Structure 1
Amino acid sequence: MKKTITFAMLHFGVAFTITYLLTGSWVLGGAVALIEPAVNTVVFYFHEKAWKRAESKQLPLAA
Protein backbone atom coordinates (compact mmCIF):
# COMPACT_ATOMS: atom_id res chain seq x y z
CA MET A 1 0.00 0.00 0.00
CA LYS A 2 2.94 2.33 0.64
CA LYS A 3 3.98 1.94 -3.00
CA THR A 4 0.49 3.00 -4.09
CA ILE A 5 0.50 6.06 -1.82
CA THR A 6 3.92 7.29 -2.97
CA PHE A 7 2.89 6.70 -6.59
CA ALA A 8 -0.21 8.81 -5.99
CA MET A 9 1.81 11.67 -4.50
CA LEU A 10 4.13 11.74 -7.49
CA HIS A 11 1.20 11.51 -9.87
CA PHE A 12 -0.58 14.46 -8.22
CA GLY A 13 2.51 16.60 -8.72
CA VAL A 14 2.98 15.61 -12.34
CA ALA A 15 -0.71 16.04 -13.19
CA PHE A 16 -0.81 19.51 -11.63
CA THR A 17 2.41 20.67 -13.28
CA ILE A 18 1.52 19.46 -16.76
CA THR A 19 -2.02 20.84 -16.61
CA TYR A 20 -0.83 24.18 -15.25
CA LEU A 21 1.86 24.47 -17.93
CA LEU A 22 -0.64 23.66 -20.67
CA THR A 23 -3.46 25.89 -19.44
CA GLY A 24 -1.93 28.47 -17.09
CA SER A 25 -4.84 27.84 -14.73
CA TRP A 26 -4.17 27.02 -11.07
CA VAL A 27 -7.81 25.96 -10.65
CA LEU A 28 -7.81 23.59 -13.61
CA GLY A 29 -4.39 22.28 -12.61
CA GLY A 30 -5.66 21.59 -9.11
CA ALA A 31 -8.83 19.91 -10.33
CA VAL A 32 -7.00 17.64 -12.74
CA ALA A 33 -4.33 16.94 -10.11
CA LEU A 34 -7.00 15.69 -7.72
CA ILE A 35 -9.35 13.83 -10.05
CA GLU A 36 -7.15 12.11 -12.62
CA PRO A 37 -4.47 10.69 -10.29
CA ALA A 38 -7.07 9.61 -7.74
CA VAL A 39 -8.86 7.56 -10.37
CA ASN A 40 -5.60 6.30 -11.82
CA THR A 41 -4.32 5.28 -8.37
CA VAL A 42 -7.39 3.13 -7.78
CA VAL A 43 -6.95 1.56 -11.21
CA PHE A 44 -3.25 0.96 -10.46
CA TYR A 45 -4.08 -0.79 -7.17
CA PHE A 46 -6.46 -3.21 -8.88
CA HIS A 47 -4.05 -3.69 -11.78
CA GLU A 48 -1.37 -4.79 -9.29
CA LYS A 49 -3.80 -7.22 -7.63
CA ALA A 50 -4.86 -8.69 -10.98
CA TRP A 51 -1.26 -8.97 -12.12
CA LYS A 52 -0.24 -10.85 -8.96
CA ARG A 53 -3.23 -13.17 -9.36
CA ALA A 54 -2.31 -13.85 -12.98
CA GLU A 55 1.31 -14.54 -12.05
CA SER A 56 0.29 -17.02 -9.36
CA LYS A 57 -1.85 -18.98 -11.84
CA GLN A 58 0.86 -19.38 -14.49
CA LEU A 59 1.85 -22.93 -15.28
CA PRO A 60 5.53 -23.81 -15.53
CA LEU A 61 6.80 -24.25 -19.06
CA ALA A 62 7.25 -27.84 -20.19
CA ALA A 63 10.89 -28.83 -20.68
Structure 2
Amino acid sequence: MARLAIAQLPTLKKTASYYLMHIVVAITVAYAVTGNLMVSLTLSLIEPTVQAVAFFVHEKAWSRRERARSEALAAAA
Protein backbone atom coordinates (compact mmCIF):
# COMPACT_ATOMS: atom_id res chain seq x y z
CA MET A 1 0.00 0.00 0.00
CA ALA A 2 2.81 2.46 0.83
CA ARG A 3 4.49 1.66 -2.48
CA LEU A 4 1.29 2.56 -4.31
CA ALA A 5 1.13 5.93 -2.51
CA ILE A 6 4.75 6.68 -3.42
CA ALA A 7 4.05 5.77 -7.05
CA GLN A 8 1.16 8.27 -7.09
CA LEU A 9 3.31 11.13 -5.73
CA PRO A 10 4.46 12.56 -9.11
CA THR A 11 0.88 12.69 -10.38
CA LEU A 12 -0.32 14.28 -7.14
CA LYS A 13 2.45 16.92 -7.33
CA LYS A 14 1.58 17.63 -10.97
CA THR A 15 -2.10 17.91 -10.03
CA ALA A 16 -1.31 20.35 -7.18
CA SER A 17 0.84 22.50 -9.47
CA TYR A 18 -1.89 22.56 -12.12
CA TYR A 19 -4.48 23.43 -9.44
CA LEU A 20 -2.52 26.45 -8.20
CA MET A 21 -1.87 27.72 -11.71
CA HIS A 22 -5.54 27.31 -12.60
CA ILE A 23 -6.69 29.22 -9.51
CA VAL A 24 -4.43 32.18 -10.32
CA VAL A 25 -5.70 32.31 -13.91
CA ALA A 26 -9.32 31.89 -12.81
CA ILE A 27 -9.08 34.66 -10.19
CA THR A 28 -7.57 37.02 -12.76
CA VAL A 29 -10.22 36.30 -15.38
CA ALA A 30 -13.12 36.36 -12.91
CA TYR A 31 -11.94 39.67 -11.45
CA ALA A 32 -11.55 41.18 -14.93
CA VAL A 33 -15.13 40.15 -15.73
CA THR A 34 -16.83 40.94 -12.39
CA GLY A 35 -14.65 43.61 -10.80
CA ASN A 36 -15.56 41.99 -7.47
CA LEU A 37 -12.78 40.30 -5.50
CA MET A 38 -15.04 38.13 -3.31
CA VAL A 39 -17.05 36.85 -6.28
CA SER A 40 -13.81 36.22 -8.15
CA LEU A 41 -12.33 34.22 -5.28
CA THR A 42 -15.49 32.17 -4.83
CA LEU A 43 -15.84 31.31 -8.52
CA SER A 44 -12.13 30.68 -8.82
CA LEU A 45 -12.05 28.07 -6.07
CA ILE A 46 -15.02 26.01 -7.25
CA GLU A 47 -14.16 25.43 -10.90
CA PRO A 48 -10.41 24.64 -10.49
CA THR A 49 -11.16 22.23 -7.67
CA VAL A 50 -13.46 20.23 -9.93
CA GLN A 51 -10.90 20.50 -12.75
CA ALA A 52 -8.09 19.23 -10.50
CA VAL A 53 -10.05 16.11 -9.61
CA ALA A 54 -10.93 15.57 -13.27
CA PHE A 55 -7.28 16.04 -14.25
CA PHE A 56 -6.11 13.44 -11.72
CA VAL A 57 -8.69 10.91 -12.93
CA HIS A 58 -7.77 11.70 -16.55
CA GLU A 59 -4.05 11.11 -15.86
CA LYS A 60 -4.77 7.79 -14.14
CA ALA A 61 -6.97 6.64 -17.03
CA TRP A 62 -4.27 7.48 -19.58
CA SER A 63 -1.62 5.72 -17.47
CA ARG A 64 -3.81 2.62 -17.31
CA ARG A 65 -4.38 2.77 -21.07
CA GLU A 66 -0.66 3.10 -21.79
CA ARG A 67 0.17 0.25 -19.40
CA ALA A 68 -2.43 -2.03 -21.02
CA ARG A 69 -1.14 -1.16 -24.48
CA SER A 70 2.46 -1.92 -23.46
CA GLU A 71 1.41 -5.23 -21.95
CA ALA A 72 -0.54 -6.15 -25.10
CA LEU A 73 2.45 -5.34 -27.29
CA ALA A 74 4.76 -7.33 -25.04
CA ALA A 75 2.38 -10.31 -25.10
CA ALA A 76 2.15 -10.16 -28.90
CA ALA A 77 5.93 -10.17 -29.28
**Equivalent residue for 1:34, pick from 30, 34, 45:** 45
Give the Cα–Cα distance (whole angstroms) in 2 for the partners of residues 38 and 28 of structure 1.
16
Give the Cα–Cα distance (whole angstroms) in 2 for the partners of residues 29 and 54 of structure 1.
37
The percentage of counterpart residues that share the same residue type is 41
CA positional deviation for 1:47: 0.3
| Bigger CA radius of gyration | 2
- TM (norm. structure 2) is 0.73
- TM (norm. structure 1) is 0.87
CA root-mean-square deviation: 1.3
Which residues in structure 2 correspond to 1:1-63 (within 5 Å)? 1-58=12-69, 59-60=72-73
**Alpha-carbon deviations, 1:10-59, whole Å to 9, x = none?**
11100100010011111111011110000100000000000100111124
* Structure 1: 4+ residue segments shifted above 2 A: none
Structure 2's unaligned 5+ residue stretches are 1-11
Q: State how many pairs are aligned.
A: 61
Give the Cα–Cα distance (whole angstroms) in 1 for the partners of residues 58 and 41 of structure 2.
25
